[in-house]
Amino acid sequence: MRTIIASIFVTIFAVSLAAVSYFNHFYAERALQRDTEQLLFEFHDALVEAKSMLAGLPEPDDFRCNDKTYGELVHLSFENPAIRLLGVLHDNEEYCASDAVTVDLSAYKSHALSGGFSMASAAHGDEHTDLLLVRTHGNSRYFANLNPFLINHLAEHACLDCLSYEITIQGEPTINFFGEPLSQAAYIEFDSFRKEGPLGISLSIKGTREFFEYYKELSWVSTVAFAVIVASVLSFAAYRLLTIRQSLGRVIKDALRFSEFVPFYQPIVDSRNGQVLGAEVLARWRRGNGEIVPPYQFIPFAEDSGLIIEITEQLVEKVTADLKRFGWNKTGQFASVNIVPEHLDSDVFYKLLTQGMERHGLIPKNISLEITERRQIANLAQARKALDAFFEYGIDLKLDDAGTGYGGFSYVQELGISTLKIDKMFVDTIQSDDVKRSVLDAIIAFAKSSELKTIAEGVEDKAQVEYLEQHGVYAIQGYVYAKPMPAEDLVDWLAKNESEAS
Ligand code: C2E
Ligand code: CA
Ligand code: CA
């Protein structure tokens, strides 16, 4: 048990760990892609803006540095947040700019572009690289300083030393931000987006694995914790399920040892004269404290686990003794015992049943078997062989829940069925609409044409009895006559029924 739970835990843990990591990775990638694209958009827009701003400034001859032009420059740079500073230098002498800062153009490294434009860069310590777009016009140079906030935008999430930006001019990597290009194998490289900006400039971004980690919503600790929680919850559920099933198996075995399974009997009555034709044997579990457990709480498990075989054996021992007490060996009524296909796998059940009958002096027709159509019989031919021994002895077979399950027709043909037990489900349609009731009529017609006897089950009122009588079904089992009851109650019920009938 422990090893089963341990392996369930390990499996669920591994699966959820893989799933959580996958989604974490997936969302990080998406977030990084989104931010990078946004950054590249902004960079592109800033370049377009700077280019048109520089091209729109007056010709050098018309441009003197005075209060008016200073005002214009301030206004222009103020209008566009992507441009930090806008300035002009005439003949290396006359200088004016939108800010009280002197830009020393000779300190910048220049990279030529087309149309009289160039890009100039200068490193400012470790913090950032200053980036200028310069337009050379005669002896004048107009320049726009691009705001580095664009670049910092991504790094806000992360660390500067695990990120590298590279500006490529006409395909040549030219300007690097944040020092040297990353030496270790770059993990992410989103440079495919908008390769060519205006003037043949593109921006590419590289980051290390460490940088990528910043984008993950969950740390590895939370990932593992999450997987542990999922695995624990599911393993606990599996444990509960297994122990419940296991302990039900154990208590049923104990109940068998203490002989706690007892037969209840539900009479089957001929509606024409009130005569008792026999009774169905229905298992009940009478616990040590007197509590009666209904079949739906243990039969399905007993059938799945094979414990039903021993339960039936226990019932049959009691049934054969009870029938002798009812005097049915003299009057000839039957007790119908529910069996499952597994009862036919060997002759153990046959021997036990017939020996019990002989021990109590019963006659063959005192016992009848019923097998449900709801469960599939794997090997019909083999089942038939086992059944033939019962038939030879004089025990017949009824088909339970006829019309509700697997190939009823083939069961009828192959198994040697004597009687169809019409399920309550169909009897219930008697007072309902015609369409559903036609199934009931079809089953009855099928029984007639196949020369099968019928018993209607779950009959609860007189109207149903009348309808069935009109259709030639007289053997009735249901609350309209009696509920299932223990042997001692049946003795009284039989006596009462006898006196009423006579
Ligand atoms: P089943 O063999 O179809 O038994 C008929 C069920 O219908 C019984 O329920 C019975 O009490 C119920 N019933 C009979 N007349 C009426 C009625 O007029 N109205 C209503 N509402 N119900 C009626 P029970 O005794 O609870 O048994 C349920 C099922 O448990 C049985 O259905 C059978 O499939 C299984 N079962 C019971 N005893 C055994 C057994 O010894 N072996 C096997 N394999 N299965 C058994
Ligand atoms: Ca039955
Ligand atoms: Ca039934």
Ligand 1, closest atom to CA 421? 3
Model pTM score: 0.61
CB < 8 Å & 24+ apart, contacts of 169-173: 169/111, 169/113, 169/119, 169/199, 169/200, 169/201, 170/113, 170/200, 171/200, 173/204
- Positions of the chain with pLDDT lower than 70, given as ranges: 125-128, 148-164, 177-199, 406-408, 501-502
Ligand nearest to the CA of residue 421, numbered in listed order = 3
Nearest CA to ligand 1 atom 16: 458
pLDDT in tens, 153-208: 665 655 666 666 777 777 777 777 655 554 544 445 544 334 456 667 777 777 77
Given the DSSP bridges, would you call strands 485-486 and 83-90 parallel, antiparallel or unpaired?
Answer: unpaired
Query: How far is it, in rounded angstroms, from Cα 195 to Cα 201?
Result: 8
In the reported structure, the alpha carbon of residue 293 is separated from the centroid of ligand 3 by a whole-number distance in angstroms of 19
> What is the structure's pLDDT at 144?
93
Q: What is the DSSP letter of 42?
A: H
Furthest CA-CA distance within the chain: 137
Fold of 258-496: TIM Barrel (3.20.20)
Residue spans of the domains in the chain: they are 19-215, 258-496
Quick check: CB of 341 below 6 Å from ligand 1?
Answer: no
Quick check: CB of 295 below 6 Å from ligand 1?
Answer: yes
> What is the structure's pLDDT at 44?
79
Exposure string (b/e) for 345-381, b if CB count within 10 Å is 16 or more? eeeebbebbbebbeebebebebbbbbbbbeeebeebe
Exposure string (b/e) for 70-100, b if CB count within 10 Å is 16 or more? eebbeebbeebebbbbbbbbbeeeebbbbee
In the reported structure, the alpha carbon of residue 393 is separated from the centroid of ligand 3 by a whole-number distance in angstroms of 25
In the reported structure, the alpha carbon of residue 210 is separated from the centroid of ligand 1 by a whole-number distance in angstroms of 67
Quick check: CB of 460 below 6 Å from ligand 1?
Answer: yes
Which of 272, 342, 268, 345 minimizes the C-alpha distance to 312? 342
Nearest CA to ligand 1 atom 37: 282
Which of 347, 352, 346 minimizes the C-alpha distance to 311? 352
In the reported structure, the alpha carbon of residue 421 is separated from the centroid of ligand 3 by a whole-number distance in angstroms of 6
> What is the structure's pLDDT at 257?
96
Given the DSSP bridges, would you call strands 485-486 and 475-477 parallel, antiparallel or unpaired?
Answer: unpaired
Nearest CA to ligand 1 atom 20: 458
Q: Residue for token digits 């079949």?
A: 295
